[in-house]
Structure 1
Amino acid sequence: MAILAHHQGAGWTEELYQATFERAVPDRENPPAGLIAHFGMPDGAGGWHVIDVWESEEVLRRFLREVVQPAAQGLDAPPFETTVYEVRNSLIPGS
């Protein structure tokens, strides 16, 4: 079942997010297996939020553990929290 993940953490800026994203997903034409959608946005108070939709929590957690966390640690990024929600309904035009 698909899940929506909300990632946020104090001290995350657009620049830090973008640098982490570029390390974690170096080729946008070859996204991580299991990723359905990804959105990064400012929170209006100087922080940054990321919303992902994944095929399952298992593939999300693996990607975070094996790719994102090492990329973020390599940039001395602060920790972030991930909240996962079960997707009950979706509409993705064109897919």
Structure 2
Amino acid sequence: MAVMVHSRGAGWNPELYQATIDKAIPDRTNPPAGLLAHVATPAGEGEWQVVDVWESEEAFRAFLEKIVIPAAMELGAPPFDSTVFEVYNYLIP
């Protein structure tokens, strides 16, 4: 079942997000297995948010634990929280 993941963290900015995503997905033409959509935006002063749609929560968790968290830790990034929601419907043209 597809899931939407909303991740949000204080102490993040565009530069830190970009450095993290560059480490996590160095080749944007080869996204991680199971990723359907990815959107990142500022979320207020000193905060950042990411909304993803994944084919499954398992695919998201595997990418998070094996790739994203190690990349963020290597950069000294602050922690972030992720909330997973079951997707009722999505359209990606």
Q: TM-score range by the shorter chain?
A: over 0.9
- CA–CA separation in structure 2 for the residues paired with 1:52 and 1:20: 15
1:29 corresponding residue in structure 2? 29
Unpaired runs of at least 5, structure 2: none
Structure 1 runs of 4+ aligned residues shifted over 3 Å read: none
Given the two structures, how large is their TM-score scaled by the length of structure 1? Answer: 0.94
1:80 corresponding residue in structure 2? 80
**Deviation at residue 47 of structure 1 after TM alignment:** 1.4
Aligned-partner SS, 2:10: coil
| 1:12-91 pair list within 5 angstroms | 12-91=12-91
RMSD: 0.8
**Deviation at residue 15 of structure 1 after TM alignment:** 0.8
Identity across aligned pairs (percent)? 61
Query: For this pair of structures, how many residues does the alignment match?
Result: 93
> Partner letter of residue 34 of structure 2?
G
CA contact 2:10–2:46 (8 Å) conserved in 1:
no
Q: Deviations over 1:6-52 (max 9, x none)?
A: 01111111111110000000000000000000001011323110000
Aligned-partner SS, 1:23: helix
Given the two structures, how large is their TM-score scaled by the length of structure 2? Answer: 0.96
